[in-house]
Amino acid sequence: MSEIFEAYMIDRGANEALEAGLMRRAVRELGSSGVLIRVSFSSLNYKDALAARGAAGIVKRFPHVPGIDAAGRLVDDHEAPPVLVTGYGLGTEIWGGWGDYVRVPPEWVHTIPAGLTMREAMILGTAGLTAALSVEALLQAGVNAAGGEILVTGATGGVGTMAIMLLARLGFTVVARTRKPAQEAYLRSLGAAAILPLAADDETTTGKALSKARFAGAIDTVGGPILAGVLKEIAYGGAVATCGMAAGTRFEGSVFPFILRGVKLLGIDSVQCPRAVRETLWTRLATTWKPADLAVAARAIDRQGLGSAITEMLAGGRTGRTLVVLDPDEARSSPQE
Ligand SMILES: NC(=O)c1ccc[n+]([C@@H]2O[C@H](COP(=O)([O-])OP(=O)(O)OC[C@H]3O[C@@H](n4cnc5c(N)ncnc54)[C@H](OP(=O)(O)O)[C@@H]3O)[C@@H](O)[C@H]2O)c1
C-alpha cells in the first residue's frame, strides 16, 4: 500500500481564498483509529457540492476532503466483501470519499449486500438511501400504490431520480415535477408516468391556501416555496416526505393542509439514521426495491471532472446521479450493471 494518496481537496489559501483540486497527502494524516478503506467509487451529492465550495456548517475544518459516499475494500482484510459508507460524518467531520483512502469508525461500515456491485451501490449512494427512507416513510404513513398519483419534485436531481425509480419499481404512478421539461424522455425512462414542468410563477407556489387535491403523496427534494406548493396539492390523508433544500430552507404556508385534509409532513434524514434502518433498506435496494437498470440514472466522471460537475449541480443544471471513479482498475473489473 502506498504511503501517499491522492484526494480532491479544498483548503483556505492566502487571504482565506478557497483552493480546490487534486492534492497528494500522507495516509497517516487519516489517523490511526478506525477502519482503513481503499475507495473505488464515490459520488457527487448536493451536500458535496456545497462542501466543495467551503460551505460553513458542512466543512468543520480545512484542509478538507469532501465526499459523503464511499465504496471500496478493507485494506486490512482482502478476503472481506466490498463495503460502503454513506453519511454519518464522512466528508463533513472527517475526510471523505473523494480521496483514495478513508479511515472511519467501524460502526459506519456496511457490507454491500449481495445483489449490488460497488458501482451500483454508489450510483444509489446517499441519494438512493434518502429516496428509500422517503418511500418507507410514505408507506408507513399509509400511502400505497393503489391510492393515487405520487409527486416527486426536483425530479431530474439525484434524489429525485432515485425516488422515481424506486416508486415506479414498487408500482406507484409517479408524476415528476421539474424545471427541465426537456428531460421528459429521461424521466419517462426512469418510470415517470407524467411530467409537470415547474414554471417560475407556478400557481402551486403562490396564491390560495389549498389547491386541487391531486396527489396521494409526494417526495419533495427541493424545499422552500416548492414544498409549500406541494403541501397544498395533497389529497385527504396523504403525506409528504421532505428531504431537500435546493430552493431554500424556509417555507411559508398555512395549517389548512394539515387540519382540513389531515396531511402529514414527514422529515427524512439519511445522515444519522440508525444503522438497523440502513441495513434493512440497503438489503431492499439490493433485492426487492432494486431498479432494473441503475446505469441509466448515472454518469461516471473521474476527479478531474468534479470542478465543472459541482458548478453545474449548484446551478440546478445536472441530471441524475454522478458516479465518481477513484480506482480505474476496479472500475474496469466492476460490471456496468
Ligand atoms: N435529508 C437528507 O438526508 C438528504 C439526503 C440527500 C440529499 N438531501 C438534499 O436533497 C436535495 C437534493 O439533493 P441531490 O443530491 O439530489 O441534488 P441534485 O442532484 O442537485 O438535485 C436537486 C434538484 O432540485 C431541483 N432544483 C435545484 N435547484 C432548484 C431551485 N432553486 N428551485 C427549484 N428546483 C431546484 C433540480 O431538479 P429539476 O431541475 O428537475 O427541478 C435539481 O436537479 C438537496 O437539497 C440535498 O441537500 C437531503
Please state, for a pLDDT cut of 70, what percent of the chain lies above it.
Answer: 97
Q: How far is the CA of 224 from the centre of ligand 1 (A)?
A: 11
Closest Cα to atom 22 of ligand 1: 157
Please provide the distance, in angstroms rounded to a whole number, between the alpha carbons at the two ends of the chain.
29
Largest CA distance in the chain: 63
Is position 288 within any domain?
no
Q: Using CA atoms, how far apart are residues 216 and 146, in angstroms rounded to an integer?
A: 9
Is position 281 within any domain?
no
Is position 135 within any domain?
yes
Atom of ligand 1 lying closest to residue 223 CA:
45
Buried b (16+ CB within 10 A) or exposed e, 57-94: ebbeeeebbbbbbbbbbbeeeeeeebbbbbbbbbbbeb
CA separation, residue 279 to residues 79, 109, 128, 274 (Å)? 21, 11, 13, 9
Is position 197 within any domain?
yes
Phi, psi of 23 (to 5 degrees): -135, 160
What's residue 331's pLDDT? 78
Q: How far is the CA of 333 from the centre of ligand 1 (A)?
A: 31
Residue 225 has pLDDT above 70, yes or no: yes
Which cell is 254 given? 398555512
Task: Report DSSP state, residue 201.
Answer: T
Is position 319 within any domain?
yes
What's residue 334's pLDDT? 67
CATH of the domain at 217: 3.40.50.720
Is position 16 within any domain?
yes
What's residue 15's pLDDT? 84
Q: Using CA atoms, how far apart are residues 94 and 152, in angstroms rounded to an integer?
A: 32
Closest Cα to atom 17 of ligand 1: 46
- Cα-Cα-Cα-Cα dihedral sign, residues 183, 207, 247, 130: negative
What's residue 335's pLDDT? 58
What's residue 201's pLDDT? 59
Give residue ranges with CB within 6 A of ligand 1.
45-47, 126-127, 130, 154-160, 178-180, 198, 221-222, 226, 243-247, 268-271, 313, 316, 318
Beta-carbon count within 10 A of 336 CB: 12
Q: Using CA atoms, how far apart are residues 298 and 314, in angstroms rounded to an integer?
A: 17
Enclosing domain of residue 67: 4-111+293-333
Average pLDDT of every residue of the chain: 94
Q: pLDDT tens across 246-294, in order?
A: 999 999 999 999 999 999 999 999 999 999 999 999 999 999 999 999 9
Q: Are residues 72 and 140 in the same domain?
A: no
Q: Using CA atoms, how far apart are residues 69 and 272, in angstroms rounded to an integer?
A: 14
Q: pLDDT tens across 90-130, in order?
A: 999 999 999 999 999 999 999 999 999 999 999 999 999 99
Q: What is the mean pLDDT of residues 48-71?
A: 94
Query: Coil, strand or helix: which one is 266?
Result: strand
Q: Are residues 161 and 233 in the same domain?
A: yes
At 337, the pLDDT band (50, 70, 90 cuts) reads very low
Q: Are residues 162 and 93 in the same domain?
A: no
Q: Are residues 316 and 200 in the same domain?
A: no
Q: pLDDT tens across 11-29, in order?
A: 998 888 899 999 999 999 9
Is position 116 within any domain?
no
Enumerate helices (H) and strands (E) in the chain, giving the number of each.
Answer: 9, 15
Q: What is the mean pLDDT of residues 157-174?
A: 98
- Cα-Cα-Cα-Cα dihedral sign, residues 169, 295, 241, 105: positive
Q: Are residues 216 and 329 in the same domain?
A: no
Q: Are residues 131 and 107 in the same domain?
A: no
At 56, the pLDDT band (50, 70, 90 cuts) reads confident
Q: pLDDT tens across 68-94, in order?
A: 999 999 999 989 999 999 999 999 999
CATH of the domain at 54: 3.90.180.10
Residue 33 has pLDDT above 60, yes or no: yes
User: Which residue do the cell numbers 440502513 mark?
Assistant: 278
Q: Are residues 137 and 254 in the same domain?
A: yes
Q: Using CA atoms, how far apart are residues 11 and 112, in angstroms rounded to an integer?
A: 32
- Cα-Cα-Cα-Cα dihedral sign, residues 314, 131, 303, 318: negative
Is position 246 within any domain?
yes
Residue 163's identity, in one-letter code, is A
What total of structural domains would you count in the chain? 2
Atom of ligand 1 lying closest to residue 48 CA:
15
Q: Are residues 154 and 220 in the same domain?
A: yes
Q: pLDDT tens across 201-223, in order?
A: 565 666 789 999 999 999 999 99
Asked whether the whole model's pTM tops 0.85, one would answer: yes
What's residue 169's pLDDT? 98
Which cell is 30 given? 487519516
Cα Rg of the chain, angstroms: 20
At 170, the pLDDT band (50, 70, 90 cuts) reads very high
- Cα-Cα-Cα-Cα dihedral sign, residues 43, 41, 81, 287: positive
Q: In a mutational test of the pocket of ligand 1, which residue from 221, 242, 269, 313 has the highest number of ligand atoms less than 8 Å from its CB? A: 221
Q: CA 225, 92, 47 angle in degrees (round to 5)? A: 30
Q: Are residues 94 and 160 in the same domain?
A: no
Atom of ligand 1 lying closest to residue 320 CA:
19
